[in-house]
Amino acid sequence: MTGRRPAARGRGTGRSTGHHGELLQGRFRCPVLDECPGLVTVPIGTVGSVALFTPDAGAGVRIRTDGDARDLTKARRAAEATLAHLRAEGAPGFTGGELRVTRTAPVGLGLGSSTADVLAAVRAVADCCGVELDADTVARLAIGAEGASDPLWSDRPILFAHRHGHVIEELGPELPRMFLVRCMLGGPVDTLALAPAGTGHVGEYEELRALLRRAVADGDAPGVAAVATRSARLNQSRHYKPDLDRLIAAGERAGALGVQVAHSGNVAGLLFAHTLSPDRVRRAADCVRADGFRVDVEPLPIGGAV
């Protein structure tokens, strides 16, 4: 635990933003293990989850939802694990409660919906207890609940071991500013059903890691986009997207710097220079849509100081 605030009254609230897939994902050398899978996400504030936790004297956590409660199984596990952790620390005076989660991220597209649910649930339970949990504890609870977790608790670009729960490398204070145009390359995906990134490209992923580190340090948006595009292509052997090459070509014709994808989903993003006007980016998005892609023409600003 990081520390305590005055105990919350009644219910607790927790929030988490989602993300827009990854800039880089693969296997890397790391200081904790010889090598392990890792990723660098693209944080966005337009999708996410809000959790409300109402404590009571019952046993366990009950889900209250207008949809399918099975979608929130990981969030319930996270809430129960957080309760157990805090009780071991002597914090809560209750044994269960009701969890309600509202999300704005569609499930299965690679927007971090399950991690956002989980983190929001962890924070809601902690809020009930007047406790602020440190990042390592939050990561451990999240991975325990869902098997793999995105680093949505970080406001800095990091290479994160999403199946093991540790930071492989902090890449810098912030990503360079860019515009992102969302595209779709298929339907929902069962993220955990996909195999982890293989071991065959560790050397190439280490090269991309070095290039990304340098691009972040230099504020080099084209350099970041080049890494993202190469990582998207390498991921084809793990989660094949039939239209990826065609999207990359359409993006090049429209003036995009490159393409990033959800490596475990089917959302993709065309990356544009932040020096372009939003109207110019919208016109570029219209061109890509004319090539037959499902495109959200409203550009999302990414990077810069959070």
At 239 the pLDDT is: 82
Domain end point (choices 112, 144, 166): 166
Same domain, 204 and 272: yes
At 299 the pLDDT is: 92
At 150 the pLDDT is: 86
At 8 the pLDDT is: 46
Domain end point (choices 166, 191, 206): 166
Same domain, 187 and 271: yes
Quick one: which H or E segment has residue 55? strand 35-56
Same domain, 253 and 229: yes
Same domain, 254 and 183: yes
Same domain, 156 and 18: yes
CATH number for the domain spanning 251: value is 3.30.70.890
Same domain, 46 and 132: yes
Q: Is the entire prediction scored with pTM above 0.85?
A: yes
At 190 the pLDDT is: 53
Range(s) of the domain holding residue 192: 172-302
Same domain, 119 and 192: no
CATH number for the domain spanning 92: value is 3.30.230.10
Same domain, 140 and 219: no
Same domain, 109 and 181: no
Same domain, 191 and 162: no
Domain end point (choices 166, 201, 234): 166
At 7 the pLDDT is: 46
Q: In total, how many domains does the chain have? A: 2
pLDDT tens for each residue of the chain, 306 residues long: 555 544 445 789 999 988 899 999 999 999 888 899 999 999 888 888 999 999 887 777 888 766 555 678 899 999 999 999 998 888 777 888 999 998 887 777 778 888 899 999 999 999 998 888 988 899 889 988 888 888 888 888 999 999 888 899 999 999 999 999 999 886 555 555 555 554 458 999 999 999 999 999 999 999 999 999 999 999 998 888 889 999 999 999 999 999 999 988 888 999 999 999 999 999 999 999 999 999 988 899 999 864
At 65 the pLDDT is: 66
Same domain, 210 and 112: no
At 195 the pLDDT is: 56
Same domain, 220 and 94: no
